[in-house]
Amino acid sequence: MPFCEKKCPYCDFYSVSYCRDTARLYTDAVIRNIKAYRGNAEIDTIYFGGGTPSILPVEFITSILQAVNENYIVNEAEITIEINPKTVNTKKLLQLRKMGVNRVSIGVQSCVDSELEALGRIHNYDEARKTVLSAYKAGFKNISCDLMLGVIGQTVDSLIYSINQLCKLPISHVSAYMLKIEENTEFNKQNIIDSLPCEDLVSDMYLLMVENLEENGFSQYEISNFSKIGFESKHNLKYWECKEYIGIGPSSHSYFNGKRTAVPNSLQDFIELDRQTEIVTEENPGSFEEIAMLQLRLKEGLCLTKFNNKLDSIMNKAIPFEKMGLLTISDNTIALTAKGFLVSNAIIGGLLL
């Protein structure tokens, strides 16, 4: 759903300003594409991502869900919608819940107003807090909040404050991302890199965050994701477990029918064409390297039992990292520690090269 009220200065996701007429045409195009992929696929997760899908009128979301239900076998699906605080009210949340959406992912980012302002967010913390409480009141028991690390002005104390505030709310999941200055963003143009907390400080923040979230009952299950027991994101787990999924919309990605594909960043084309353009990005996905890279993001790690021919060489390469406390080895499984997650790219490179 590539529509936002206002572009955040750090964001490099594809999105345009919201306009109801365009969103209507967009919804029609989504439905056309849902029908075009129709097959015997069983759907057990549906994810409205963005952009800001919560900016769309409920009837547009309803018509998309109806199209999925009419064209696929849908089995007790986890249905998530990303929500930007200030774009929903209790009535809208009740309607979303009523039509089967059962998980919300709310872009809180920080519980400190000066940090939210520095991030160019459209909401303050009180508005984000009220959105979480309204979602809970509307019947959502599976609520995720986004938290950002390395924000301008953030300190260890302010991060701990944000975590403590979040943990007081009726939520079951936290996604925590480090702010990265991407090339095509306002922050990059402003060259704000020197104003950000330094890398060492952000690393300390990450480790403290893991510890604090765990103390509050949120177990880490992926580099950036934490949940109460049973509330891991079923949808996102599919990406890391190398399972297939269909992405619809400009800038979306799919892994379907044995190929990885991407849709170009053009809303105009997506709206006008009968079927979205798919550019093949990977003809033969599912290589050992790809599986290893994805599964090493998970706390449960990479099990090498099925990859007998790789077992000895990878285990030998893993031993020095284990001695440094960056990973653990047990039962043919390699799993990165929190410290290891901080340097995951280097470890993965070291294991696979």
Residue 179 Cα distances to 110, 119, 136, 141, 287, angstroms: 12, 10, 28, 28, 30
Closest approach of Cβ 3 to ligand SF4, in Å? 8
Could you tell me the strand order of the sheet in which 327-330 lies? 302-303, 333-336, 327-330
Name which of 122 and 335 has its Cβ closer to ligand SF4: 122
Owner of token pair 């059962």: 102
Give the range of 48-56, 283-291, 322-330, 335-343 binding ligand SF4 by CB under 6 A: 48-56
Q: Which residue among 13, 161, 177, 288 contacts ligand SF4 (CB under 6 A)?
A: 13
Owner of token pair 């439905």: 31
**What's the rounded Cα separation, in Å, for the pair 183 and 222?**
26
Based on the shown chain and the rule CB under 6 A, indicate whether residue 238 belongs to the binding site for ligand SF4.
no
Residue 85 Cα distances to 91, 144, 145, angstroms: 14, 13, 11
Based on the shown chain and the rule CB under 6 A, indicate whether residue 295 belongs to the binding site for ligand SF4.
no
Residues 76-95 that bind ligand SF4 (CB under 6 A): 84
Name which of 110 and 212 has its Cβ closer to ligand SF4: 110
Q: Which residue among 8, 304, 327, 348 contacts ligand SF4 (CB under 6 A)?
A: 8
Residues 101-120 that bind ligand SF4 (CB under 6 A): 107
Based on the shown chain and the rule CB under 6 A, indicate whether residue 340 belongs to the binding site for ligand SF4.
no
Closest approach of Cβ 88 to ligand SF4, in Å? 13
H/E element holding 90? helix 90-98
Based on the shown chain and the rule CB under 6 A, indicate whether residue 7 belongs to the binding site for ligand SF4.
yes
Q: Are 25 and 135 in contact (CB under 8 A)?
A: no
Based on the shown chain and the rule CB under 6 A, indicate whether residue 50 belongs to the binding site for ligand SF4.
yes
**What's the rounded Cα separation, in Å, for the pair 217 and 91?**
30
Give the range of 23-31, 46-54, 92-100, 129-137 binding ligand SF4 by CB under 6 A: 46-54
Cis peptide, bond prior to residue 325, ω within 30 of zero: no
Residue 143's DSSP bridge partners are 104
How many residues bind ligand SF4, per CB under 6 A?
A: 11
Based on the shown chain and the rule CB under 6 A, indicate whether residue 51 belongs to the binding site for ligand SF4.
yes
Judged by the rule CB under 6 A, the positions of this chain that interact with ligand SF4 are 4, 7-8, 11, 13, 15, 50-52, 84, 107
